[in-house]
């Protein structure tokens, strides 16, 4: 046991030293170049001294490391040095071994490494820093899409799936709360899909996230349109559905900019209501006019915001897709719409387009339902319809499970 623990401690120390050297190499390009040149010379000498144990192809290792650590000019110099040393090492090998072929392969590997480094040099970074920056931007976009914590009695979920399974999506969500009383959510769909729209989505997510909760509710879409017009993106545009929900009363306002309308589930009637709100695409009109659709989320009601990738395909229009979305969502009523966003994106979202959905649910109190039904029976009021009773029973099962 003690021997194993000592071996692990040695490995950890070696790992820490290697990480320290790697950080220093990234900070000092001269040190990295000298170190890789020394490594090339060392492995070449070992290949000459022990040809039966160390292959000449070991020279590929410092070349690949150079692609991760060096700037472009230093990498070019290291590549030429590696080719020269590799040619000498091969020339000293037995006559029956392929020599020209190895030099050609080593040269091709060097060309591939240089090509990748040339692309990264356009960003002003070397090695994997460019990829790290993209991952940080992706994480920023994901973090901005996280919905805020809501008071008791409310639940909100969102799910996004990019076309082709890419990490970047043209659909994104920004949200905020105003004094824990008003929830604001905007679901945005940037023209294009997947990685092609990802860069514009990253830019707009920061801008729209800064506007949301700062400007008045009715001014959000005009302000977003003005910002998009300033970018001068020619024919590129964005669609948005923006909702503000009063968490005290359940009253909400929906505004859209060229986006599919929100749909509301009425728990008491079991019906689905389309919340139409006309408005032009963002970025195309100088002074657009956005209408508002007002409603209220009662206990058990839910509001769905979604992108066109959820309901529209080349073989199906938005109307049919919306009916299909509502039909599938109705199966989740018995579960209180818990996990509905992720399931709907998986089951309904089109594989060839970005898909996003937000579900806002005002949860129902089962005790209030029982009291209401008992009072209605005692006062002789008209009994609720079978459809309404079914909806009530589904909600009771969901929240007493």
Whole-angstrom Cα distance, residue 163 to residue 165?
Answer: 5
Mean pLDDT to the nearest integer, 355-361: 90
> What number of other Cβ atoms are within 10 A of residue 211's Cβ?
18
The domains of the chain are located at 2-121, 138-363
pLDDT of residue 215: 92
pLDDT over 80 at 74, yes or no: yes
Confidence of residue 250 (pLDDT cuts 50, 70, 90): very high
Confidence of residue 377 (pLDDT cuts 50, 70, 90): very low
pLDDT of residue 97: 64
For the chain, report the end-to-end CA distance as a whole number of angstroms.
49
Confidence of residue 278 (pLDDT cuts 50, 70, 90): confident
Mean pLDDT to the nearest integer, 132-145: 69
pLDDT of residue 115: 83
> What number of other Cβ atoms are within 10 A of residue 213's Cβ?
19
Average confidence score pLDDT of the chain = 77
Most confident of 14-18, 124-128, 391-395: 14-18
Confidence of residue 76 (pLDDT cuts 50, 70, 90): confident
DSSP single-letter state for residue 258: S
Exposed, middle or buried: residue 289 (CB in 10 Å: 0-12, 13-18, 19+)?
exposed
Q: Which residue has the higher pLDDT, 94 or 302?
A: 302
Q: How many helices (H) does the chain have, and how many strands (E)?
A: 12, 10
pLDDT over 50 at 238, yes or no: yes
pLDDT over 60 at 177, yes or no: yes
Q: Which residue has the higher pLDDT, 374 or 107?
A: 107
Mean pLDDT to the nearest integer, 153-175: 81
Q: Please state the pTM of the whole predicted model.
A: 0.67
Percent of the chain past pLDDT 70, that is, above it, reads: 71
Whole-angstrom Cα distance, residue 206 to residue 248?
Answer: 29
Rounded to the nearest 5 percent, the helix, strand and coil shares of the chain are: 50, 20, 30
pLDDT over 90 at 10, yes or no: no
DSSP 278-328: --PPBTT-SS-----EEEE--TT-EEEEE-GGGT-BTTB-HHHHHHHHHHH
Most confident of 109-118, 360-369, 377-386: 109-118
DSSP single-letter state for residue 234: T
pLDDT over 90 at 255, yes or no: yes
Helix (H) or strand (E) holding 171: strand 171-178
- Close Cβ partners of 199 (under 8 Å, ≥ 6 residues apart): 168
Per-residue model confidence as pLDDT tens digits over 290-339: 999 999 999 999 999 998 888 876 566 666 777 888 888 888 887 788 88
8 A C-beta contact, residue 293 and residue 276: yes
8 A C-beta contact, residue 47 and residue 86: no
pLDDT of residue 381: 43
Mean pLDDT to the nearest integer, 36-55: 83
Class of domain 138-363: alpha beta
Whole-angstrom Cα distance, residue 256 to residue 370?
Answer: 38
pLDDT over 90 at 256, yes or no: yes
Per-residue model confidence as pLDDT tens digits over 202-234: 788 888 888 988 899 999 999 999 988 888 776
Closest to 221 in 3D by CA, of 204, 201, 240: 240
Distances (CA, A) of 375 to 371, 372, 380, 381, 396: 6, 5, 9, 9, 17
> What number of other Cβ atoms are within 10 A of residue 110's Cβ?
24
- Close Cβ partners of 397 (under 8 Å, ≥ 6 residues apart): 334
Q: What is the separation of C-alpha 366 from the centre of its chain, rounded to a whole number of angstroms?
A: 36
Whole-angstrom Cα distance, residue 288 to residue 279?
Answer: 7
pLDDT of residue 265: 92
């Amino acid at each position: 046991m003690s021997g194993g623990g000592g071996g692990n401690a040695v490995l950890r120390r070696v790992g820490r030293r290697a990480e320290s050297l790697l950080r220093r190499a990234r900070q000092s390009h001269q040190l990295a170049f000298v170190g890789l040149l020394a490594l090339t010379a060392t492995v070449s000498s070992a290949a000459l001294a022990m040809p039966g144990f160390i292959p000449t192809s070991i020279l590929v290792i410092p070349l690949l490391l150079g692609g991760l650590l060096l700037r472009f000019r230093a990498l070019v110099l290291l590549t030429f040095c590696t080719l020269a040393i590799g040619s000498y090492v091969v020339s000293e090998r037995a006559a029956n071994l392929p020599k020209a072929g190895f030099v050609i392969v080593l040269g091709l590997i060097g060309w591939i490494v240089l090509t990748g480094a040339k692309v990264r040099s356009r960003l002003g970074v070397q090695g994997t820093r460019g990829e790290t920056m993209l991952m940080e931007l992706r994480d920023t976009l994901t973090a901005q899409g996280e919905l805020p914590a809501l008071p008791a009695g409310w639940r909100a979920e969102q799910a996004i799936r990019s076309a082709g399974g890419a990490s970047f999506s043209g659909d994104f969500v920004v949200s905020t709360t105003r004094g824990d009383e008003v929830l604001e959510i905007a679901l945005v769909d940037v023209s294009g899909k997947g990685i092609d729209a990802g860069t514009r989505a990253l830019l707009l997510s920061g801008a729209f996230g800064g506007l949301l909760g700062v400007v008045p509710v009715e001014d959000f879409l005009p302000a977003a349109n003005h910002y998009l017009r300033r970018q001068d993106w020619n024919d590129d545009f964005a669609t948005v559905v923006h909702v503000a929900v009063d968490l005290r009363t359940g009253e909400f306002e929906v505004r859209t900019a060229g986006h599919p309308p929100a749909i509301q589930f009425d728990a008491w009637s079991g019906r689905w209501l389309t919340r139409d709100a006309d408005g032009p695409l963002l970025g195309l009109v100088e002074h657009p006019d956005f209408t508002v659709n007002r409603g209220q989320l009662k206990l058990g009601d839910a509001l769905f915001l979604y992108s066109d990738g959820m309901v529209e395909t080349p073989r199906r229009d938005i109307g049919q897709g919306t009916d299909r979305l509502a039909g599938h969502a109705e199966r989740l009523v018995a579960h209180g719409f818990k996990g509905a966003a992720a399931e709907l994106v998986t089951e309904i979202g089109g594989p060839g387009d970005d898909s996003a959905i937000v579900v806002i649910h005002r949860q129902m109190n089962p005790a209030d339902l029982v009291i209401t039904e008992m009072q209605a029976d005692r006062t002789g009021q008209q009994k609720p319809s079978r459809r309404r009773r079914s909806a009530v029973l589904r909600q009771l099962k969901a929240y007493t499970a």
